[in-house]
């Protein structure tokens, strides 16, 4: 019994102390490499597409490059909203997996609250994080469902899905979900 206690308690402590002391005594090794020996890290096609989409505004990309623009009525209503009632959640990207490709949907989302008091409540960092998490979870469910799996993203249907999910979680404080920008890019699977 005592040999087992020594093996499990004393030996690990002794070896840990010896390793720490050895590390303190040994000089620090400095590794230098010539600049030609260091290869620049390559980006995957998916990372390149996401970087390009994050840098572009939705109006600057042409439709033949894979961008999905929000419907005209959605963009007009977003411009007419009272900014005091809108909680901006920022950009979110969701991968939509298909048989031979992965489509990345990058969207900037705002949530219009029923009044200024509710908007002020949800502008708090903790509540904004909860709201953002709920939207992101709903977007991932939509990526598996029919809202995002078509050739083009159906923005009215997606907005309705997001509003329904947010009202289940946050009640009547949520008036509408605004898709401020929406981009879509398809990357072939490797």
Contact 68, 153 (CB under 8 A): yes
Distance CA 86, CA 156 (A): 18
Contact (CB, 8 A) for 183 and 61: yes
Q: Token digits for 174?
A: 């949520």
Regarding whether 14 and 103 lie in a shared domain, the answer is no
Residue 28 and residue 78 share a domain:
no
The pLDDT tens digits of the residues spanning 38-86 come to 444 555 565 566 666 666 644 444 444 444 444 444 444 544 456 778 8
Q: Report if pTM > 0.75.
A: no
User: Is 182 a member of any domain?
Assistant: yes
Residues 14 and 51 in one domain: no
108 phi/psi in degrees, rounded to 5: -105, 125
* Same structural domain, 24 and 71: no
Q: What's the mean pLDDT in 165-187? A: 87
pLDDT in tens, 107-147: 899 998 888 888 888 888 888 899 999 999 998 888 887 66
pLDDT for position 134:
92
Q: Which residue range(s) make up the domain with 11?
A: 2-35
Alpha carbon distance 122, 128 (integer Å): 5
Same domain, 124 and 175: yes
| Helix runs in 38-188, H state only | 45-55, 72-80, 116-122, 125-144, 155-170
60 in the same domain as 118: yes
89 assigned to some structural domain: yes
Q: What angle do CA 35, 36, 37 make, to 5 degrees?
A: 90
Structural domains in the chain (count): 2
Is 40 contained in some domain? no
């Amino acid at each position: 019994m005592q040999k087992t206690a020594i093996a499990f308690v004393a030996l690990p402590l002794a070896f840990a102390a010896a390793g720490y002391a050895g590390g303190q005594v040994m000089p620090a090794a400095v590794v230098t490499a010539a600049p030609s020996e260091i290869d620049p890290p390559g980006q995957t096609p998916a990372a390149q597409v996401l970087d390009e989409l994050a840098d572009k505004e939705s109006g600057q990309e042409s439709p033949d490059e894979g961008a999905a623009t929000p419907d005209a009525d959605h963009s007009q209503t977003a411009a007419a909203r009272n900014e005091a009632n809108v909680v901006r959640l920022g950009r979110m990207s969701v991968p939509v997996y298909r048989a031979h490709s992965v489509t990345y949907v990058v969207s900037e989302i705002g949530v219009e609250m029923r009044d200024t008091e509710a908007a002020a409540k949800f502008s708090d960092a903790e509540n904004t994080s909860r709201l953002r998490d709920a939207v992101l979870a709903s977007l991932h469910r939509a990526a598996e469902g029919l809202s995002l799996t078509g050739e083009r993203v159906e923005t009215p249907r997606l907005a309705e899905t997001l509003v329904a999910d947010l009202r289940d979680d946050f009640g009547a404080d949520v008036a509408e979900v605004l898709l401020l920008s929406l981009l879509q890019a398809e990357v072939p699977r490797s």
